[in-house]
Structure 1
Amino acid sequence: MKINLKPFLLIYICVTSFLCNKAFSQHKTDSLSYYTRAIEKVTSEETLAKAYQYLIEHLEVKKKQNNKLGIAYDLYFLARIDYKVGFYDDSEVSAVEALKILDGLKVNDYNTKLKTGVLNLLGQVYNQKNMFDKANETYLKALSITSTSRDSMVLYNNISNIYKNQKLYSNAKNTLVKAIKLFNRVEDSIEKARVIDNLGFIKFKLNSQGAFNDLNTAYTIRQNVDNIAELYPSYKNLSEYYLSKKDTVQALSFAIKAYDVANKVNSLSYKLDAVKTRYTLGDNSVFKEYSFLNDSLLKAAKLSQNKFALLKYNVSKSQLESQIEKSQKQVYQLLAVVILILALGLLYFFRAKHKKEKLKEVYTTETRISKKVHDEVANDVYQIMTKLQSNDNVNEDVLDDLEQIYLKTRDISKENSTIHVNQDFEILLTDLLANYSSNQVNVITKDIVKVDWKKVSDVKKTALYRVLQELMTNMKKHSQANIVVVVFSQKNKKVTINYNDNGIGTTLKKHNGLQNVENRIQSVGGTITFTSTINKGFKANIIL
């Protein structure tokens, strides 16, 4: 059963809101330079949160003073915090607001430097939002005003990353060549290593000469820099390079080094990336860790965003009311949330119970009718046939008609009889489909063994069995198909079944057969879609 975590997140938000406010009131460093440096090199989420609150308060002071440059400066660093947390829309709003202010100020070195930083950040935001043309345009604007070689080099490297994301490797290479021409005027070895490593990777993608030399040069530079995190991209790119050369030993060696760096810097994203690389190289020992890290990264990212969403909410509230009033209100909110959770939980429980009972009643009714048809109608018809067969004066056509009625009642009984889906469902389903195969119809079943049927509820398995039974029966009666293909697949907890036949097709209308099939699937929370045109077969896609 899928559990909705949103109510529990609401409780977490309310509780951590109170704790965060208390912590901020106890620890406050009134230093703008301290917090801007903290944003440059984040050491913890708590530091970033404190920087955000300080900047909000500092921004209000600058607004009261009508200090345009101070407002733009604070907005820029608030935008950077939002970018780091993953609030790209909020980051864009603050950065654009800062840019508008800077456009109206006098041009000087300081203002130009700040404007370049704002444009560079905006380019990064648009890149994250996959607005590549917009990102490229923004970086070019920054290039047109920057006065330092280092900033130009960084911007060229960022532009190359846009092209790399779009797999426009030739454009990326040409851009990086421009960055390298600035090396003589730049002393920042870390930024140089990033450019060289990027160029080596692009050359490798283009099968150009010198790829390994560039990758190795960047690696050597990074080894001499006191920043272990910078080694990660070198290890990763070298691993990918050796893999392309089919040197799996070296590829795995660098993948393991990348993994070690990820653990030392304690970066979830690096760890996940490194484990994925090792698994791709055939190191199956990290499969469980990959699944764990993937879940952990998603949870950590969501939790971090929840914390900052909560922080923004609290900061705005604190500007309007006192801390005591806010705390009291949060207590009431927490009580309301708890009551709401209980109410929703009870509602969900009773709805699920009612739905389950209703489904059970449907299947019980079907089984009861099936038994009644078999025990009473079919047996009575059979007895009449037996009596009439002993009478020489009975018309053979009448006997044939009675036999057809008997066969139909037997089929109806069989189609609605009890299904034991709790054991060997794969075999049960295979037998069902195989029963429709004949000299006239070839039924092909694919990948049924790849579905973990033990994780599918009995209610869903029963519904699926009945639906496939209905589809196959309709095929046999109406389609005139000679080939039927049923393909199974599973992704996470979702099971998909694709039915396809080459029959005469039909004009889709919600007649009783298709409507019953759709109702069955919807009753267990699944979906089914039909596709068919005259003389072009019939298709059904089922998702459970």
Structure 2
Amino acid sequence: MQKRNSQIKFYDSKAYDAAKAGKYDSAIFFTRKMLVTAKKENNIQEIKKTYFKLSRYYNKLEKYDSAIVANNKVLRILESEFDTLSVAKRRNLNGTYYKKIDSFETAYENYTKSKELYLIKGDTINAGKVLLNIANLQKQNGNFGASQLSALDGLDYLKDSGHIRNIAGLYNALSVVSKETDKLKAAEEYINKAIELAKDSISIRKIGKKNITTFKNTKANIFKESEQYDKAIEIYKDLLNDKGNDILENKRINTNLAYTLFLKNGFNKTSDSLLRNSLSYFYSKENLSAIYSAQLKLAELYQDKDVLQYSKYIDLAAESAKKLGNLTSVYEVMEVKLRSDYSREDFDRYVALGRQLETKEEDLNHFYIYERYNYDKAEKAKITALNKARESKIRFLILLLTVIVLLVLIFFIYQKIKRRHKIEKVKTVHSTEARISSKVHDELANDIHNLMAQLETSDPDKDIVLDKLDTIYNNARDISKQNRSVETGEAFVDELNNLFRSYQSEAVNVLLKRYDVSIWNGISSHIKVTIYRVLQELLTNMKKHSNAGLVVVSIEKENKQLFIQYIDNGKGFTEEISKNGLQNAENRIQAIQGKLTFDTELHKGCKFSINVPV
């Protein structure tokens, strides 16, 4: 691959910035500079890129002839490189360009070639997308039978593919074809299928808001044809209230609304105003097909009301139909003329046009059926091969998914076992504490016994001995209480309340805030015991060392996290003292994957924060 010239980079950057700003003339200028440089170096890849960009920028400016020239340059390079899929893509784009300049036969040839190339490569999805373009082209050209066949073929390729934008478009094409051939029930069924695909925000985004508006407009047109005027008018008005529509789409809806109001009520000023306003806009945009449609509707509006206005608009519609080069449009004008102004010349012209249309439709049907027959076997072979490839891919994906599921399952089992071991360790610690409690109690009881024995052999001050005895006994009782087992079932709430009450006195006020007893529901027993022990230790330290008069404890649960805060107004302590005195509490919290932090200074009280995942 050739190294990219710095000049090409410069021009490419300038073109990109201009296009981003919507200045497509400038973008074309810099891209042409880029092309000249690429040609001097005979850099084929850069030449290909520049023609591609030119095609896109000309399209943005609606200069479709120039877009076609640039796109054909790209096509020739791609064909020389035997890049079939890229050629298919460019052929499809050419079809769209030719359609925009009303060169329907050339558009059809390009679309057909694109579809064939996609099928040769087994790409049925893109073939189905191209068939949507073919169906719409045939529908627009009045070839409804072939359009229906193309749309049905497209659905066969795209069903179960998830490409709901194109599937909905094919249903809309089938609906319009059914309407135009007076199969109104089928038309309504098809358009309902298209609209039902837009069931949520994701599908609406995929299909596109503009397309959904088109589908609803089609449904209203069906109601209009079946003389359900009120239903049609309701949909048109709803669509016009949608601020997301572009001006052109709103003007088209206005013409449909105006014509429906005319069909329901006869001549009326609202219809006249809406049609004239829309026609004026279509003139400004030089949209010939929309101009023709509005002119013909105005002619029908004035047909029985004002002969001069009728004559003006029917003549204008006839002129526009000739410019379009669309026999169907010319035929429609003649049909309206014969309703009020019969002449032998017009009648003969009308009959001749009818025959021409029949012949053209037969030719197009024959061409389509012939093309379809020639490639039917190849398509089936490609589909079979594609299905086999898909089956192999599905089998591989199932195997891969099974392996992934097994690995995930093994990981979770490992984590559960690991967590269970940690829980067992914590439980072992609690069990050990209970045994120590019993042992200390027994030893202290022995001390009491020894002291009493001394009383029998000597004569110390009785009050002193009794005071010592009372102190030993109280210490033993406190140690036993601190290390006894904790109830973790429904009685845990009472257990915790009793703990706080036991440290409440005339000198110390213990307050609980932001505490909902239901937070303990679903929390593991070993976490409850750990929290209980840590709070007990903090309260004990407060009682022994801090001289606090007020203790505030808050307990909350949010997003599977338990948040506990302890604050007192005692004398506080230094960080060095805290490391020695609070090591046990920190170890307990860490054992349950939690975190304990504190904030304290001498004579400024203590603040502890505990965070535990539950």
TM-score, length-scaled by structure 1: 0.45
Larger relative contact order (CA 8 Å, sep ≥ 6): 1
- Whichever of the two has the greater Rg, that structure is 2
TM-score, length-scaled by structure 2: 0.40
